[in-house]
Amino acid sequence: MGVPATVLTDPTWLAEDLRRARTLYGPAPRAVLGTVRWYSASSLLVAAALEPWVHTGLARDPALDAVRLDLADGRFLDASSTRGLGPDPAELGAALVRAVDAAVTAFAAACGARERALWAVAVDSIANRLLWAASATGADHVEGVRLAGELAEHMARAAHDVPGCRWRGSPRPRFTTVGDRVIVRRVSCCLIYETPTACEVTCVSCPRQTPAERARRVRGQLRG
């Protein structure tokens, strides 16, 4: 089922989505369920704009009225943008800030999570998508890191023009190296471990563990 991404700012739709999340993940605080859902939605929202930019040099528009989200059985599966944007990273950065901040503001109001924490989730989504997209083109990981830094600079400038924006350039995308693999050094937590279905097990890259433990788990995943 495809829906316009404007639903991410619709209080009625978000209230229903929290009920869907409770069915998927079990009873948990609203802030936890809302953060889990934003973790999934933000990754697809930014991918719709960023992946074409990395692959072809031309971004797609991340504006909520240009993006369609694909859902099935209550889960976010994919997203696509109906409008082109062009190659300019400044234009892309400004468009991302406007789209993400509108969704963050609505999610925070719907579930009670802090806007700054939801913005951190989006920053990690941007970092991951740029790293994955660069890797998919056969480019060195350095290209993904470079693009993330460049885009973050433009986003930070644009954020000052968005009234009430809870992101002013910090946190920014961060990366670390484990073995020969560059990964995102996450600044956010999706809170999935606080849901009954996760059995209190954190993600491999969760920031709520020591760097040594994270590196050990990432190495184990890469070997597997």
Please tell me whether residue 192 adopts helix, strand or coil conformation. helix
Residue 1 structure tokens? 């089922």
Check residue 223 and give its pLDDT. Answer: 66
CB of 87 within 8 A of CB of 57? yes
Distance CA 201, CA 208 (A): 11
Q: How confident is the model at residue 42 (pLDDT cuts 50, 70, 90)?
A: very high
Residue spans of beta strands (DSSP E) within the chain: 2-4, 59-60, 67-72, 75-81, 84-86, 175-178, 181-184
Q: So what's the pLDDT on residue 181?
A: 84
Please tell me the distance from the alpha carbon of residue 69 to that of residue 77, in angstroms, as a whole number.
Answer: 8
Give yes or no for a contact between 187 and 119, defined as CB atoms under 8 angstroms apart.
no
How far is the C-alpha of 45 from the C-alpha of 5, rounded, in Å?
8
* Contact assessment for residue 124 and residue 173, using Cβ atoms and an 8 Å cutoff: yes
The string of DSSP letters for 46-59 reads: HHHHHHHHHHHS-E
Return the pLDDT at 222: 65
What would the pLDDT profile of 104-149 be if each residue is shown by its tens digit? 999 999 999 999 999 999 999 999 999 999 988 877 788 999 999 9
DSSP 82: S
- The model's pTM is 0.93
**Helix, strand or coil, per DSSP, at residue 61:** coil
User: What are the Cα distances from residue 32, in Å, to 45, 88, 143?
Assistant: 20, 36, 34
Helix, strand and coil content of the chain, in percent to the nearest 5, comes to: 60, 15, 30
Question: From CA 151, how far away is CA 96, in angstroms rounded?
Answer: 10
Which pair of tokens denotes residue 154? 């433009």
Q: 172-219 pLDDT, tens per residue?
A: 999 998 888 898 999 998 899 889 877 556 777 777 777 777 677 767
